[in-house]
Amino acid sequence: MYIAISGNIGSGKTSLVEMLSRRLGYEPFFERIDNPYLDSFYQDMARWSFNLQMSFLSKKTMQVKEIMNSGNDIIQDRTIFEEAYVFVRNLNRMGLMSTPDYELYMSFFDLLAAGIRRPDAIVYLKASIPTLISQIRRRGREYEMGIQPEYLEGLNELYDDWIAGYDGRVITIDVDKYDFVLSPDHFEAVTGKITEALALPGGGLSLGEAGLR
């Protein structure tokens, strides 16, 4: 089984990967944030967006190879597809990545994506802007302190678009209502819904709007 945890900056992906990997006994694959362009990007997004995303694409491609060669059950922190369809698209849409740079990035991505294994299920951590900002501040990464709400809002819109058109199993968690990091009860509820959904053939479940079921 190959599960991916997807969601905006500050949605809790890394924490959930860590917690679920311990609970389920899956091999965790964390997002590699040791990007040499990261600090520069948050200071001048338009100048460094292409460099940043090409570096992430390289690291994510290497990780995908590791995943495909692993014989274990896997849980991954953010997919390679989000990099292209959410983050890079958002940068181009905001005028922070030129159209030629965007088209060059996508040409590389399309070549790589043709041979990439897709997750068996995606857990989408959906969160409002206030929740994202609160959690970004709570974890205290200095380079993220200057992230603007408008940037996060654009990412949220594209995440919703990507998830709506995704041809595969999706389990949506409303992070505004379930703080699985601070509340053991919420983590138990989230874990239960994920394992329940994975045991069902096809489809997906949404946790949040209708409460616990």
pLDDT, position 200? 41
**pLDDT tens for residues 133-153?**
999 988 877 767 778 899 999
Give me the pLDDT at residue 115, please: 84
| Domain regions of the chain by residue span | 2-207
- Spans in the chain with pLDDT lower than 50: 200-206, 209-213
| Host H or E run for residue 91 | helix 89-93
Cα 113-204-159 angle, rounded to 5 deg: 50
At residue 207, the pLDDT reads 52
Q: Could you tell me the pTM of the whole model?
A: 0.87
Query: Residue 66: its pLDDT value, please?
Result: 94
- Among 44, 77, 161, 167, the one annotated catalytic: 77
Phi and psi torsions of 25, nearest 5°? 80, 25
Q: Where are the beta strands (DSSP E) in 8-126?
A: 27-29, 74-77, 121-126
Q: What is the share, in percent, of the chain residues with pLDDT greater than 70?
A: 93
Q: What is the CATH number of domain 2-207?
A: 3.40.50.300
pLDDT at 144: 75
HSE-CB at 63 with a 13 A cutoff on CA atoms is: 23
First to last CA, the chain: 24
* Catalytic residue list contains 77: yes
